[in-house]
Amino acid sequence: MELFLNIIGLIFGFILLIKGADFFVDSSSSIAKKLKVPTLIIGLTLVAFGTSLPELAVSFSASLAAKAANTTADIAMGNIIGSNIANLTLILGASAVMMPIAVKKSMIKREFPFLIVITVLIAVLGYFFQSDQQITQLEAVILLICFIGYMYMMFKTDKENLIEDIHIIDTKKAIILLIVGLIGVTLGGILVTQTAEYLSIKVLTQSFGVNQSDAQAFIGLSIVALGTSLP
């Protein structure tokens, strides 16, 4: 019965994450538009940030839980790596099977090389992860600089494609949706982390004798990553 409740809790956590992120993006974009924030800036910040909220919430929650327990954040790392793999293989592959995806030459020339560079950078940093088993502040700063550089590149070279139609919502309703969205994402991240930890221990560690760290990494790479990638 406890196992069943945790599976239901995991599914409910994903629902909170997905709907919370949707509420956050829609409401914050509407508020920013009413404040006369340029649409381009909204697309580069709120929309870009909001679509990654599920992964961010789960990884942040898992990292805090690991720090409190003085263990490695295997679910967090598994989710980050797994969600990217799922996006590039399952999501892209399934979408293209149903309908061919047209890709602009500008994207092939610009985004693909950047993706390769970042992948190589992560692989290089991963070599250092093995020695100290942690992502240092310096390595974190390097990754953030790369992200800022990518956003700047998008701003300079692809302005037209970044502009999206923004649905205007009544201000009071938008504020309520914003608060509900943030609460949903926060609670969803905590719920997914806790239930994923339980499932990794109950199913993989106790039933199959898998090392707890490896079990959490597997759950993060598979179930959690897939759930946070589906939006």
Burial of 168: CB neighbours in 10 Å, binned 0-12, 13-18, 19+:
exposed
Please report the pLDDT score of residue 154 as a whole number.
77
Please report the pLDDT score of residue 129 as a whole number.
65
Instruction: Tokens 């099977």: give the residue.
Output: 97
Sequence-separated contacts (24+) of 3-6 with Cβ below 8 Å: 3/199, 3/202, 3/203, 6/195, 6/198, 6/199, 6/202
Please report the pLDDT score of residue 160 as a whole number.
53
Tokens encoding 175: 């504020």
**Could you give the CA distance from residue 35 to residue 44 in angstroms, rounded to a whole number?**
16
Please report the pLDDT score of residue 207 as a whole number.
84
Sequence-separated contacts (24+) of 38-46 with Cβ below 8 Å: 39/163, 39/164, 39/166, 40/155, 40/159, 40/162, 40/163, 42/166, 43/162, 43/163, 43/164, 44/151, 44/154, 44/155, 44/162
Length of the chain measured in residues: 231
Tokens encoding 108: 């092939």
- Identify whether the C-beta of residue 74 lies closer than 8 Å to the C-beta of residue 217: yes
3-state secondary structure of 166: coil
CA 112, 114, 117 angle in degrees (round to 5)? 115
Please report the pLDDT score of residue 220 as a whole number.
93
pLDDT tens per residue, the chain (231 residues)? Answer: 889 999 999 999 999 999 999 999 999 999 988 888 877 778 777 877 788 899 999 999 998 888 887 777 889 989 998 998 998 898 889 989 988 888 878 777 878 888 899 989 988 887 776 666 678 888 889 999 999 998 888 777 765 555 556 788 999 999 999 999 999 999 999 999 999 999 998 889 988 889 988 999 999 999 999 898 876
